[in-house]
Amino acid sequence: MVRVTTFYDVTVIATESLSKRFPRVTALDRLSVDIGPGVTGLVGANGAGKSTLIKILLGLSPATEGRAEVLGLDVATKGAAIRERVGYMPEHDCLPPDVSATEFVVHMARMSGLPPTAARERTADTLRHVGLYEERYRPIGGYSTGMKQRVKLAQALVHDPQLVFLDEPTNGLDPVGRDEMLGLIRRIHTDFGISVLVTSHLLGELERTCDHVVVVDGGKLLRSSSTTDFTQTTTTLAIEVTDSDEHPDGTRAVRDALHARGVETDNEGGGLPGAGHILLLTAQGEETYDLVRDVVADLGLGLVRMEQRRHHISEVFTSSDEQRKEATVHGG
């Protein structure tokens, strides 16, 4: 077994000092991580090692060194058994245009080992689940991008896997299509108990959808934590106010009034149309909220919003970049 510290009763993916080196690049660099049941996001810039990791976990590419297990199976020796239990939705468009969704998904079900009748029944159920039942007999070549993404999702689910790898499943989708796909991903786990490893470059999507997030950069693990840990509230209070005839710059008026009461603030550009910029200050408890409300009311301004800021996954990358720059300065 892979010996790594785990916070889960059951681990669906575990890696220990996993490395993959090519002649001119190290794609994975001693990556050790545990992933439990649920929906897990895998985050990293292009070239971070995400695709390489998925190929190794599927048993399609050997690691240079280290160990990895998927569903308790060693990827180095049990690749075929892993692929029987795992579904994979690729990022690229790999669908045949001249067959229907039903024909394609049935074919993939048969390749997964399902007998003909079971393959047809599972295909119908899966296409209904992903919202393609009414369009199931149309040639895939006439599908929209969103429909094609759903076909790829259906073929990953048709053999009832224990775990699915979804590579950039919202690529090319409009906001409505992204929301619908994210809803499907959540239901894969909540309704069917299937664990999910999903990659995305849209970090906000992962914050909304995932239970856990793994961040890799340059083949190394930056952080692996629950989404709740990534998005904890801070002590920073964000305030946005309207302007008025008396105070055409409402933000400045509030800032000056708070400064007069000994409260330090900072500014952040942005804001809603017609509203002032965003004012930032450190919350010292309920008295800070009361003070802000009183100041805004005394000035005759409208309070657009007052909320505690949350951390975001993107801050992990910002911190990593700053550390690299600092290391470069001190090292060179």
Domain definitions of the chain by residue range: 13-230, 233-310
Helix axes 116-129, 145-157, angle to 10 degrees: 140
CATH number, span 13-230: 3.40.50.300
At residue 316, φ and ψ (nearest 5 deg) are -65, -40
CB-based contact 177:148 (threshold 8 Å): no
Question: pTM of whole model > 0.85?
Answer: no
CB atoms within 10 A of CB 1: 10
Burial 114-142 (b: 16+ CB within 10 A, else e): beeeebbebbbebbebbbbeebbeeebee
Task: Report the candidate in 136, 122, 62, 134 with the shortest Cα–Cα distance to residue 87.
Answer: 122
Decide yes or no: CATH 3.30.70.2750 for domain 233-310. yes
Pair type for strands 39-43 and 195-199: parallel
Going residue by residue through the chain, which has 332 residues, state the pLDDT in tens, using 9 for 90 and above.
333 334 456 799 999 999 999 999 999 999 999 999 999 999 987 777 898 999 999 999 999 999 999 999 999 999 999 999 999 999 988 899 999 999 999 999 999 999 999 999 999 999 999 999 999 999 999 999 999 999 999 999 999 999 999 999 999 999 999 999 999 999 999 999 999 999 988 888 888 899 999 999 889 999 998 988 887 777 888 899 999 999 999 999 999 999 999 888 877 544 444 344 788 888 888 889 999 999 999 999 999 988 887 777 777 766 544 444 443 334 54
| Length of the chain counted residue by residue | 332
